[in-house]
Structure 1
């Protein structure tokens, strides 16, 4: 197709907006011969070349977009104008004509260097959520499946429009389909959508990821994470209401994106309080509040209970760790339990410890290990499905960060439990550490590099619980081990190392 070409004596092509091997998108204008619009009306024409399609999914997507636009009536969604087929000597083409939304995409605004205030982003978020509320109120609900900055248009009056419904699907068809269909943009599509199981809450994730991009000017895949959830609040301070909505809709678990759209809109407009606290991130010091003649807002009872429980848990961790910090000063070495499999031998010239592998049935192994296996299994399914379906190379490569996270998580969870650690200390030979996990690794340090041995919170917490493990200081490094041991065994090991290092072993 060429600029200036006339389609069906009704639409004159002006500028090509996009092109793929089998489709083109053009900006066009209606002519006097157009029965549907006044002459000169701005439209967008999508043209699908039937002979160039790699499969019928392209045709299905085209038909779904046309059907969806015919059914939708919303000022922020392009209006359906016309659809027809062109039969020519070089092939057959399908054309879909829709209203052209004036303005620029959020992606173009980002590329131009534009920055928004938090109030402006909240206003955009409210508009986008209002559009999604309309789509989800339909029966059956409509799922866009490709919300991202490229498909959101800022119109001249500052309002927002949602375009490109080529990935649209209704919730009923998605729930009962019998084939895998991957739609969406990397970074904006949640896990359930990547696996081909998009739901209405998948659009909420994409909307929140888009707002996170506007706030930080970073792609969602480049943002820091809290667990598996994108955490824009780690980079900048946000209002409590915006942070609350983002955290809920960016949750990787679809079931936990449970904030109703009406409540989210009301919070962002300031018409509804944030659960738990009205001034959460910027609580005023007590002295300032009293001097200003105001009292601090009363906390929600449920939030207060959760906060107290968390404080008690943190205190327990601190007490547990601090209790063993004092092992440095205590030279008494408790006897190992009679059923302990730890081997501990020492005299004034040498000390040897053998810490066996933990049981695969231990809680830390079962909980974390099962999750790690599930994670890697899901990533393997996604990768092999993408390869088997002949997807572009980008899709298998997209899984590489998830492979890295899964392997790192499995190693961090399984190694402390399934490793055998043998430590030998001698006055002449220094420190010898032999770790057996998948293979054996042997390392040596001079005796001068031997530091204290203590209990400390493990690097990974599971279900909010932080276990303890032994930390042995060796030069500039720290050896962590013994998370599968009992506290009595860890105390015996830590005190024996510290006493031997100081030459204060009991007679």
Structure 2
């Protein structure tokens, strides 16, 4: 069966309508994808009093998502995921063309679903033609190619000079300004998926700075699906997936295994979950000892100097007996009595109550986004002690160096003090970080970003894929007056990142547990 779209000359308000109609036909003639109805023909019929222009396509099977939902259909998350996969596939095809093609009006009314087979079709490329997108992209691509580089979208990634086309509530914010990027259709796809998951138009949901705040309003059990929708709906194009292929891989890629030890799984989590004990045994209550990971610290300063990068709490290892340690045990009890369950307490994962008086901010958006902000701690008892020790140490070394030089010791004696100066500078750096360091950590189902600042200046930003993120552990970075300076270490591949200096022990445990529990939830 075919559908015929007719434009009558007598009904046209301007010649622009005919130009756009012909552009749509030209666009469709160049497309070939199972999810796009086949182009059949374009012709005109002349009569005595009129000329009719005809565009012929095969009829796509099924009904629009809009009509299905209006008629009472409530899709399961599996059905929504299937729609997402197929929609991203066809958008990936459009983006792979040269020049790329932007649909510009992806919405429930333009996506058809044949429920019996589950087949999805994308229809109505009139918006593409209406803005002359293909022609604009071709012109822009020609200019970029003349300069010797680019993919046809210009240096900014936007198609310039195109008019505003799309449906309010489903078009990306940049489309309201008449701009298009390859990620613009992805925003519309995210809004369409949100409509399926909620049964509500995205424009009816609360927004903040153009961002749709659907988490907490729409319940989505599939963590990857929730994270996908959230990232597709980012207001800034650069914060979304940049290509449909990237979004497709993020949704369909298998969850990276994190090991198999204990109910938590992976090398970071020991001792089972809230409901099951280690190995899936009987339920275990949460009467865990109040001892903290630093209660049994007994540091060797020579070991610190030889390590070069800080040491973990000695005697605690990811697995029982690993590295020659015996581990530290915590006691839990069940209905059959008490038993010892070994846990790596440098990697707490049980979420605890937010400490009273803490300035650390922890926010969760749904199940797939975590934000932690650690402001500068200022002068505390710990930082004051570390600072005083640094002043005393460096002052003594300065006095000793000056005395050696004055006594005729020369450069040889001065060089002898270099290791002590290095140790003093390390302690001074620790004191500075405890007072002025601030950190921000954002994690979702696909990526993470950790930024450290000091006195308002960004000193380091680390970003990567969540699959490469193992968790957060507590490490002893240095000692001052035989007191350990404990901070957090984000275990990211071979380049761990340390932050959270100056936090109290309970705050360190609180932050580490929030991150580790969140990562565990993503993997289950």
TM-score bracket relative to the smaller structure: 0.3 to 0.5
TM-score w.r.t. the length of structure 1 is: 0.47
The structure whose RCO (Cα within 8 Å, separation 6+) is larger is: 2
Q: What TM-score do the two structures reach when normalised by structure 2?
A: 0.46
